A = this chain, B = another copy of it.
């Protein structure tokens, strides 16, 4: 946390970041519609007009918050991958099953983010704002987005022979869509009525079906 308030300062010093932060908080609490420019400024303790020194419009703020939400999803998935590596020397015969295990962990992390942070999730995948180009997954920042994580696991599976090579291209889209569908249907669709045990069972079945479909 750098220089939020340089002591007795008039200027904020990091207002853009702070606004994205409070906007993210708003999205977390109330979803995409709750990301209101005036309220975001209010929470930072700043006039709404000042936001226009950092964002061209309300939509611009929304887009920034959307990107932040995507980052948070990526963080969650990366963390899950990191902690979920019990056997570090899987032996070549177990390579495929280890990769499958990681794929499952990735899907589970994705879904747990959706259920823990429905507001952020809805913003990240809702009609407001737009997704950046997937290929330009800023490698300079060193961190790979959710998309690259998935690609890597699928590469591992292909390398281990668990996926026929001719089926590999474009597979990330298919797998992503499958996991994503569960999340949406559980959050805002007909599966919202399931209690948490039923939901967990459905998730488990769906992940089975996905892996089977590889």
Contacts and interface: CB of A to CB of B under 8 A. Distances in A.
A170 B131 contact: no
Interface of A: 31, 33, 122, 125-127, 130-131, 133-134, 147, 167, 170-171, 173-174, 176-182, 184-185, 187-193, 201-202, 205-206, 209-210, 212-214
Contacts of A31: 127
A188 B184 CA distance: 12
A192 B176 CA distance: 14
Given A177-B185, A178-B178, A193 B131 contact: yes
Contacts of A131: 189-190, 192-193
A122 B184 CA distance: 11
Given A31-B127, A212-B213, A181 B190 contact: no
A205 B173 CA distance: 9
A76 B176 CA distance: 26
A184 B127 contact: no
B174 A209 contact: yes
A154 B198 CA distance: 20
24 contacts: A122-B127, A125-B184, A125-B189, A126-B126, A126-B188, A127-B187, A127-B188, A131-B190, A131-B192, A134-B190, A167-B205, A170-B202, A170-B205, A171-B205, A173-B202, A173-B205, A174-B209, A176-B190, A177-B178, A178-B178, A178-B210, A180-B189, A181-B182, A212-B213
A69 to B, nearest CB: 13
B173 A177 contact: no
